[in-house]
A and B are shown apart, each in its own frame.
Chain A
Amino acid sequence: MMAASANSATAQAGPPVPAAIEVANIVKRYGDFEAVKGVSFSVAEGEIFGLLGPNGAGKSTLIRMMTTLVPITSGRAIVAGHDVVKDSDAVRRLIGVIPQALTSDPDLTVEENLSIYAKLYSVPKAQREKNIAEVLEAVDLVKWRGAQTKTLSGGMRRRLEIARGLVHNPSIFFLDEPTTGLDPVSRIAVWEMLDNLRRTRKLTMLITTHYMEEADKLCDRIAIVDHGTLVALGTPIELKHSVPGANVVEVHFNRETPEWQQRLESLDDVTSVQAESAGFYRVLTSSGSRTTMQLVELASSLGETLTSLSVQNTSLDDVFVHYTGRQLRDEQVKPPAFTMPPRPGAQP
């Protein structure tokens, strides 16, 4: 399902796959503020499931409820077959969690960080050493095992966080914005690593992100969350197909006139037109090539000049706009304001 009204979804159609995570009508309230408003979905075993949304959408609150960090106000969450509220200890034993912040101790070495977490999960000594060696191999930090964490780069520290979450061999892996703050190269390296981990360890992963590209490349299914509500859910392809129009044409005229919007909407195949800035429009169309031709002809007939013209396939950004009425990237390019890092337990 992809409709915002239903606010819930189940695993993909096909042969029944046991659900690793089932969330039913989950709500989180902080006083009068409702951070998560009755969200339901399920994640199949071995699936990479993405929660996509802007900052403050409720993604982190959702993941914190599923990982027993934040009490659930109402609703139910079953993780690895255990109720998060009633059997939280069993849930904790079976999950690996990578919080948004880098929480490995900078004064300890890579190996010490992993060893302490393995002890917190009561991994026996022999198994502990084997697990540490394996996860270091998996995240490509073998030669850094004796290095103090504070000497690692941001990308390496993020890989250490991932290794730390895997040191007790969890079956479900929760990652809260795993690539935030990383440069593009490190980000791609983390994606490749996560994809590799999924294949080799048969992990179920739930990832929150506000990067469209990350969700698109990494996730089998994506739930779009906005203002604490699940507004759409499906595979990236399903989500893109759910938006009317197969292509996006970005057109920039040399000057703005009041009639452009109307003229563009009247073109054949065009399903919607978004004004981006003066003379700049994003046109959703079922036929990119035909609309492009029509745009050139229109400009020529009116004696106007096209500054730029590009045709793209529908992106998740368009999906987000379609379901929420605004662009996700708008949320990300707001003028930077100084904000303190979120405190544990603070409202999202």
Chain B
Amino acid sequence: MNRMFAIVEREMRKFFRSPTLMIMSLMLPLMQLVIMGNAFGGKIVGTRVAVVDYDHGPQAVKIREAFQAIAVNIKTFTTVDYTDEKQAREDVRTGKIDGAVIIPAQYSRRVYAQDAPVIGFVADNSDQFTSSSLEAEMQLVVTALTTPAVQPRLANTIALEIVELYPYVNYMKFLLPATVALAMYISVMIGGGMLYIDDKARGVHEGYLVTPITKLELVMGLNMAGAIKATLAGISLTVIGSLMAGLGVIFHPEALAELFCLILVTAIAFNGMMFLLMVRVDDPLVPRAMFGVLNTLLFYPSGAMYPIAAFPKWLRALAVVDPFTYSIHGFKAILLKDGGFQAIQFDLFFLFTFGMATLFIATPLFKRTL
């Protein structure tokens, strides 16, 4: 046991003396949290929409007034008058404007006659975010125009009442669980993958192998050190990220304990996986080359950015065995939903079992000789 702790001691002394690993494993996820958290999920403002009015009647004026209200209040778009529908379409296509509303001739008359009045909206759907936002605003305008001025006392249509369980989750908060998992992955990749192979290539392992340390002590020592480093990275990013995203969950002792358990088993799972992948590798280029590939292969299918339910079957199969899936699910359950141990017990079980299984396979593969 003492020999195993000697390996851990060496790794930890090195880790604290050279803060590069810690900085690098936190830097990328934090930058992602700040930049993506602010870049995505914000409201669309300041777009330009053409209005081609062939009607000029009182109902067309009502539409223009509604648009004016939007331009002044929520500022989603401002309007630009066009006289030619063809030109408006061309300008949407070339990006001069972001959409065009066509008010057809006889629109007001059709409204009064209740003769299926239609307003046209030309959207640039190559940009899903902007076009959906504009479509949503247009729909609101149309709904408002359709709603009678005097509401009936009893509603004669079916209404859906939505109850939101949690306060508004902005994109930065949504991104935090994935960011914590990513920081731990980077820590494991650098601390458990790259440094492990670099040490091997530099002959540090040769120094270990001539001592009486057993294979199990050496494997356990290296993995314990890797898991401690990843745990520290996970804790650091959970605290910093929660403060940045405005989540108060880290001030609840029970949630903190749950987070610690989840971070620990995630560290064991990620480190075990990395050790298994690297156990027979000698070339220092391999972990560097694998960094991006593994990141894409494990991070994106995990439901970090997009729900797994929307994946095709083969991608769902990958998500089932991906430790990221369970780690991110667990972090979401605690950080965003305060779901307690019950919500994460399967995640804890899977990650711990995964970590132990990978170590169980990797240990016999580890060579006690050069």
A345: contacting residue among B7, B17, B370, CB under 8 A: B370
**Bound CA span A68–B213, Å:** 12
Per-residue contact bits, chain B 244-269, to A (CB 8 Å; 1 contact, 0 not): 00000000000000000000000000
B210: contacting residue among A67, A105, A116, CB under 8 A: A67
- Is B6 touching A119 in the complex (CB atoms < 8 A)? yes
Known contacts A105-B204, A116-B6, A68 near B211 by CB under 8 Å:
no
- Is A70 touching B369 in the complex (CB atoms < 8 A)? yes
Stretch at the interface among B77-85, B127-135, B195-203: B195-203
Q: Which residues A89-124 have CB closer than 8 A to chain B? A: 89, 92-93, 95, 97, 99-105, 107-108, 112, 116-117, 119-122
**Bound CA span A121–B367, Å:** 20
B5 within 8 A of A: yes
B152 within 8 A of A: no
B167 within 8 A of A: no
Per-residue contact bits, chain B 194-224, to A (CB 8 Å; 1 contact, 0 not): 0000001111111111111100000000000
Q: Cβ of A121: which chain B residues have Cβ within 8 Å of it? A: 211-212
Closest chain A residue to B211, Cβ basis? A120
- Is A69 touching B209 in the complex (CB atoms < 8 A)? yes
Q: Cβ of A101: which chain B residues have Cβ within 8 Å of it? A: 202-203, 206
Closest chain A residue to B207, Cβ basis? A103
Nearest Cβ on chain A to B175's Cβ, whole angstroms: 34
Stretch at the interface among B8-16, B63-71, B98-106, B358-366: B8-16
- Is A120 touching B203 in the complex (CB atoms < 8 A)? no
Nearest Cβ on chain B to A181's Cβ, whole angstroms: 13
**Bound CA span A71–B9, Å:** 29
Per-residue contact bits, chain A 306-341, to B (CB 8 Å; 1 contact, 0 not): 000000000000000000000000000000000001
- Is A344 touching B211 in the complex (CB atoms < 8 A)? no
Q: Cβ of A64: which chain B residues have Cβ within 8 Å of it? A: 370
- Of residues A101, A107, A116, A164, which shows the largest number of chain B Cβ atoms within 10 Å of its Cβ? A116
Per-residue contact bits, chain A 64-78, to B (CB 8 Å; 1 contact, 0 not): 100111110000000
- Is B213 touching A120 in the complex (CB atoms < 8 A)? yes
**Bound CA span A341–B200, Å:** 12
**Bound CA span A345–B203, Å:** 10
A86 within 8 A of B: no
**Bound CA span A71–B206, Å:** 14
- Is A93 touching B370 in the complex (CB atoms < 8 A)? no
Known contacts A71-B369, A344-B205, A95 near B17 by CB under 8 Å:
no
**Bound CA span A148–B13, Å:** 12
Main secondary structure of the interface of B (DSSP, over half): helix
**Bound CA span A99–B367, Å:** 18
B282 within 8 A of A: yes
Q: Cβ of A343: which chain B residues have Cβ within 8 Å of it? A: 201, 282-283
Nearest Cβ on chain A to B185's Cβ, whole angstroms: 24
B114 within 8 A of A: no
Closest chain B residue to A97, Cβ basis? B210
B370: contacting residue among A92, A103, A119, A344, CB under 8 A: A344
Known contacts A71-B369, A97-B210, A122-B2, A112 near B205 by CB under 8 Å:
no
Q: Cβ of A105: which chain B residues have Cβ within 8 Å of it? A: 10, 14, 204
A120: contacting residue among B6, B13, B17, CB under 8 A: B6
A119: contacting residue among B9, B203, B369, CB under 8 A: B9
- Is B212 touching A103 in the complex (CB atoms < 8 A)? no
Q: Bin chain B's interface residue count.
A: 20 to 34
B94 within 8 A of A: no
B18 within 8 A of A: yes
- Of residues B9, B17, B204, B206, which shows the largest number of chain A Cβ atoms within 10 Å of its Cβ? B206
**Bound CA span A119–B208, Å:** 11
**Bound CA span A70–B370, Å:** 6
Q: Cβ of A100: which chain B residues have Cβ within 8 Å of it? A: 203
- Is A122 touching B3 in the complex (CB atoms < 8 A)? yes
Closest chain B residue to A65, Cβ basis? B369
- Is B212 touching A89 in the complex (CB atoms < 8 A)? yes
- Is A107 touching B13 in the complex (CB atoms < 8 A)? yes
Closest chain B residue to A120, Cβ basis? B211
Nearest Cβ on chain A to B204's Cβ, whole angstroms: 5
Closest chain B residue to A342, Cβ basis? B203
Q: Cβ of A67: which chain B residues have Cβ within 8 Å of it? A: 210
Per-residue contact bits, chain B 15-37, to A (CB 8 Å; 1 contact, 0 not): 00110000000000000000000
- Of residues B3, B5, B282, B369, which shows the largest number of chain A Cβ atoms within 10 Å of its Cβ? B369
Known contacts A70-B369, A107-B17, A92 near B10 by CB under 8 Å:
no
**Bound CA span A105–B17, Å:** 11
Nearest Cβ on chain B to A173's Cβ, whole angstroms: 11
Q: Cβ of A108: which chain B residues have Cβ within 8 Å of it? A: 10, 13-14, 17
**Bound CA span A105–B6, Å:** 13
Q: Cβ of B207: which chain A residues have Cβ within 8 Å of it? A: 97, 99, 103-104, 117, 164
Q: Cβ of A69: which chain B residues have Cβ within 8 Å of it? A: 206, 209-210, 369-370
**Bound CA span A99–B208, Å:** 11
Q: List 25 A-B contacts (CB under 8 A).
A: A71-B369, A93-B212, A101-B203, A103-B206, A107-B17, A108-B13, A112-B13, A116-B10, A119-B3, A119-B6, A120-B7, A120-B208, A120-B212, A120-B213, A121-B211, A122-B2, A122-B3, A122-B212, A148-B17, A164-B207, A344-B200, A344-B201, A344-B203, A344-B205, A345-B282
Contacts A103-B207, A104-B207, A122-B3 supplied; 20 other A-B pairs, CB < 8 Å: A67-B210, A69-B210, A97-B210, A99-B203, A101-B206, A102-B203, A103-B203, A103-B206, A105-B10, A112-B13, A116-B6, A117-B211, A119-B3, A122-B212, A341-B201, A343-B201, A343-B282, A344-B200, A344-B205, A345-B369
Complex A-B, nearest 10 residue pairs according to Cβ-Cβ distance, in ascending order: A101-B203, A119-B6, A97-B210, A120-B211, A103-B207, A345-B370, A344-B370, A103-B203, A92-B212, A107-B17
Interface residues of A (CB under 8 A from B): 64, 67-71, 89, 92-93, 95, 97, 99-105, 107-108, 112, 116-117, 119-122, 148, 164, 341, 343-346
